[in-house]
């Protein structure tokens, strides 16, 4: 025990000398720090458990409001995409037997008119003639048509509205087509039971089947080409006017002789002589001479001369007869 006290005092002295030598500026009045003597492990007090402080939670920023998913101004609803119109060429090609009709539609650009009309949500009905219908035509009849006539021929097979087989019972004749007009291009459609008859004035045929039908487009099969009157009507030769008959020649009036005119003036100057001679009985004269004298007047009467010429001739005859008296 004494040894321990001596050791502790020695340590205290050693520490005091070391601290005084290292800090000379320290005031002498300050009491030196006396550290307790180290204790043996048997005499060391039990260490107190250190207080464990709970971790402080991290400071989170104030939550911001999430943007609203609903827009302030509602956009108009999107329209459903418009369905593509039916392809007439594909329909006829799949049905087979319409290659001539398809070729004419492309060569005349009528197929473009059909597609534009179907894209505009318009409806139509097509009366499609088969290849057999074209082969029954006279040879070269299509080549003899002008481009405009070919277009009119194809448009004559297109009706500008959708017609089901039941609608043909209520159509008004003549039916309107896409050709020029119903006067030059008439078409009459009648029904007898389940048969639909078509008449153009040149061709009579029936609808032999349905190729395609929906609420916009209807394509029907016909076994003959529908020939319109405006293109294939027989031409009637107009009668040539008969020549008018030549008018009958009018004979020239006969000029009186100078002697007759002189005697007429003399008789006019002397009315007494003429009156006296007229009172005397006339002798019998030869009939041939009288007829010779009157023959110019008769000729004028037979030729249809004017009345005043006839009266003048009679006056001359009377004057000549008076000279023979």
CB atoms within 10 A of CB 265: 9
Residues 6+ apart with CB under 8 A from 17: none
User: Do residues 168 and 196 touch, judged by C-beta distance below 8 A?
Assistant: yes
Confidence of residue 180 (pLDDT cuts 50, 70, 90): confident
Domain boundaries, the chain: 88-231
To the nearest whole percent, how much of the chain has pLDDT over 90?
Answer: 39
User: What pTM did the predictor assign?
Assistant: 0.51
Residues 6+ apart with CB under 8 A from 211: 91, 92, 95, 128, 219, 220, 221
Confidence of residue 59 (pLDDT cuts 50, 70, 90): low
pLDDT per position as a tens digit, 111-130: 999 999 999 878 999 999 99
To the nearest whole percent, how much of the chain has pLDDT over 70?
Answer: 50
pLDDT per position as a tens digit, 69-81: 666 666 667 766 6
CATH number for the domain whose boundaries are 88-231: 2.30.180.10
What is the distance between the alpha carbons of residues 56 and 324, in angstroms, rounded to a whole number? 182
pLDDT reading at 106 higher than 80: yes
Residues 6+ apart with CB under 8 A from 159: 124, 125, 126, 127, 175, 176, 177, 178
């Amino acid at each position: 025990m004494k040894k321990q006290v001596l050791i502790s005092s020695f340590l205290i002295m050693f520490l005091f000398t070391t601290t005084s030598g290292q800090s000379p500026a320290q005031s002498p009045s300050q009491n030196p720090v006396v550290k307790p003597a180290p204790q043996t492990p048997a005499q060391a007090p039990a260490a107190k458990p250190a207080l464990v402080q709970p971790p402080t939670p991290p400071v989170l920023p104030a939550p911001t409001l999430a943007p609203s998913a609903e827009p302030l101004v509602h956009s108009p609803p999107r329209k459903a995409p418009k369905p593509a119109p039916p392809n007439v060429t594909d329909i006829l090609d799949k049905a087979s037997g319409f290659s001539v009709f398809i070729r004419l539609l492309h060569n005349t650009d009528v197929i473009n008119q059909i597609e534009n009309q179907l894209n505009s949500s318009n409806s139509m009905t097509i009366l499609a003639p088969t290849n057999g219908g074209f082969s029954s035509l006279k040879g070269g009849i299509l080549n003899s048509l002008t481009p405009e006539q070919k277009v009119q021929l194809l448009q004559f097979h297109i009706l500008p509205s959708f017609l089901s087989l039941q609608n043909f019972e209520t159509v008004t004749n003549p039916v309107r087509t896409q050709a020029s007009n119903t006067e030059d291009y008439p078409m009459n459609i009648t029904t007898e039971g389940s048969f639909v008859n078509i008449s153009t004035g040149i061709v009579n045929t029936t609808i032999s089947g349905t190729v395609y039908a929906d609420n916009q487009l209807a394509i029907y099969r016909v076994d003959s080409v529908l020939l319109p009157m405006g293109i294939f009507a027989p031409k009637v030769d107009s009668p040539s006017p008969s020549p008018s008959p030549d008018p009958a020649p009018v004979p020239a009036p006969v000029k009186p002789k100078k002697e007759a005119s002189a005697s007429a003036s003399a008789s006019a100057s002397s009315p007494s002589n003429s009156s006296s001679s007229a009172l005397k009985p006339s002798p019998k004269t030869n009939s041939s001479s009288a007829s010779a004298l009157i023959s110019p007047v008769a000729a004028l009467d037979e030729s249809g001369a004017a009345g005043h010429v006839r009266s003048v001739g009679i006056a001359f005859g009377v004057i000549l007869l008076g000279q023979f008296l």
